[in-house]
Amino acid sequence: MGLVFKNKVYKKSSILALFAICLLVNACQQEKKPGNSFLSGKIINQNEKKIRLFQNGKLFDSITLSKRGEFQYQFPKGSQGVFTFKHMPESQLFYLEKGDSLLMRLNTLRFDETLTFSGKGAVENNFLIHQFLENEDNNDLVYSYFKKDPKIFLKAIDSIKAQRKKNLTSKIKKHNFSKKFTSVAKKLVGYEYYSLKERYNFLIRKYSPEQTKNLPKNYLAYRKKINLNDSKITACYIYQRFLDSHLMNLSIDYCEKQNRPRSCYRMTNYSNTLRRLKLSDSLFTFEPLRNRYLGHFGKLAILRSSDNFEMEAVSNLLKKADYPEGIFTELRKLMDIQNLFLKEHNFSELAVHDANGNNFKLDKIFGPKPVAIFFWDLYSPQLQKLAHQKVFDLQRHYPDIHFIGININSKQTDMWKKSLKNFNYNRISEVQLQKNPYKTKLFRNFSKQLILLTPGNHLVLSNEQMFTTSIKSALERLSLEF
């Protein structure tokens, strides 16, 4: 059976689509062995020459596509459960049981609208897809209730949960779902409910603390029966959303005990991120989940470090947690890049060139004004566009600051020049690295940052997030102080 549950639009496949896939890949003629499961289909406008399958966070197998984007794959006997299908930059999930035969077709130019799964197990899949999309519809429900009495909120989510259970019971009777599938479906109903409670708990504590006294004493009683290491639903977004919210609330619990209420709800600061990293180390024992959260919060803690002391604390914690060395190596490389943005680092000697092919050190274009620099990537077109729009807006408000864009794709000079022309970027304030010693995918993590430099010696004064509300106050301080 095929399951897609992600924040995407889903369209049911038709009988014509099924016949089309059979003709395209000869899937209907494929010799099938008893007990084996199959995945076949076609990817139109393929982005790469393969698709990758993951299970429990680990690479399960790679499938090579034909020149026309067609593929056929037979799973090893006994394969079942939740899988992740990846064709960069997109990914989706599907659910597999023994003997399933999935037929898939998609066009990468309209990934969300064209992805379809058909074949044996479609009823179960469609049920889970519908359940997930309903969850997405209720994603913002808590924002309508966090200023109201908790009793009103609980009545609303209790009604949602009851309807989910009723619908599942009806489908089980009608279609004779397997016990394993039923177990997954029931868990997702439960964790959707728990996720809403966790998110409401966060919002009411942050924005309506006076309402917390009206929470029932048993409001968090469900925490006694949750499983933070459930291997059967690790990849499911509903489960991951619950875990994210749960960790957030646990970090706040700890923070408030330290009598630091003002900073407890700043979820993007270093201290809060480090707390969630420590919680991940202590709570997760299932390796895929453990690696996912240690890696996620380890990366964020590095990016949010303001000095070597803080980065060293992250490094030591990951070493102590016995984080996989191969993945830890990538984080160490991320630390090397982050070191460039720490306070008092000197950018004057950075080797760059302009659109006319002139090579020079960055300080050549520094003038008497304070400087704000940002790095951008040709292969992140949406972020590239947003960053330049943001900088253009900031530059109008802070004309006393010199904004400089630095492209990181040092081996793509022609493409960079074409982008400058196509998007009408200011060539005077745009340069490209002569040589990027770091992996582009790692450097890409810093594309939302604006590095403020002092005039004269051009040392890093601060490292700001470009799209936060605090960026204007940071620029005002830079403009006034210098």
Please tell me the least confidently modeled range out of 6-20, 103-117, 318-332, 344-358: 6-20
Please tell me the least confidently modeled range out of 33-37, 295-299, 348-352, 414-418: 33-37
pLDDT recorded at residue 11: 38
pLDDT at residue 1 tops 70: no
pLDDT recorded at residue 272: 93
pLDDT at residue 27 tops 70: no
Domain with CATH 2.60.40.1120 in the chain: 15-119
Please tell me the least confidently modeled range out of 18-22, 85-89, 458-462: 18-22
Please tell me the least confidently modeled range out of 38-47, 192-201, 367-376, 381-390: 38-47
Specify whether the CB–CB gap between 150 and 216 falls below 8 A: yes
pLDDT recorded at residue 35: 65
Report residue 150's pLDDT band, with 50, 70 and 90 as the boundaries.
Answer: very high
pLDDT at residue 4 tops 70: no
pLDDT recorded at residue 293: 94
pLDDT at residue 112 tops 60: no
Distance, CA of 166 to CA of 431 (rounded, Å):
60
Domain with CATH 3.40.30.10 in the chain: 344-481
pLDDT at residue 326 tops 70: yes
pLDDT recorded at residue 415: 92
pLDDT recorded at residue 9: 37
Report the range out of 94-98, 224-228, 336-340 with the highest average pLDDT. Answer: 224-228
pLDDT recorded at residue 121: 67
Superfamily of domain 15-119: Carboxypeptidase-like, regulatory domain (2.60.40.1120)
pLDDT recorded at residue 44: 85
| 381 vs 14: which has the higher pLDDT | 381
pLDDT at residue 417 tops 90: yes
pLDDT digits (tens, 9 = 90+) for 151-180: 999 999 999 999 999 999 999 999 888 899
Report the CATH number of the 344-481 domain: 3.40.30.10
pLDDT recorded at residue 401: 93
Rounded average pLDDT over 45-72: 89
Report the range out of 257-271, 320-334, 374-388, 468-482 with the highest average pLDDT. Answer: 374-388
Rounded average pLDDT over 233-262: 89
What is the percent of the chain where pLDDT is above 90? 45
| 257 vs 376: which has the higher pLDDT | 376
pLDDT recorded at residue 114: 61
Report residue 115's pLDDT band, with 50, 70 and 90 as the boundaries.
Answer: low
Q: What is the mean pLDDT of the chain?
A: 85
Question: Which tokens is 314 given?
Answer: 């992250």
C-alpha gyration radius of the chain:
26
pLDDT recorded at residue 57: 80
Report residue 25's pLDDT band, with 50, 70 and 90 as the boundaries.
Answer: very low
pLDDT recorded at residue 92: 75
Report residue 33's pLDDT band, with 50, 70 and 90 as the boundaries.
Answer: low
Rounded average pLDDT over 439-450: 86
pLDDT recorded at residue 20: 38
pLDDT recorded at residue 395: 93
Report residue 23's pLDDT band, with 50, 70 and 90 as the boundaries.
Answer: very low
Report residue 32's pLDDT band, with 50, 70 and 90 as the boundaries.
Answer: low
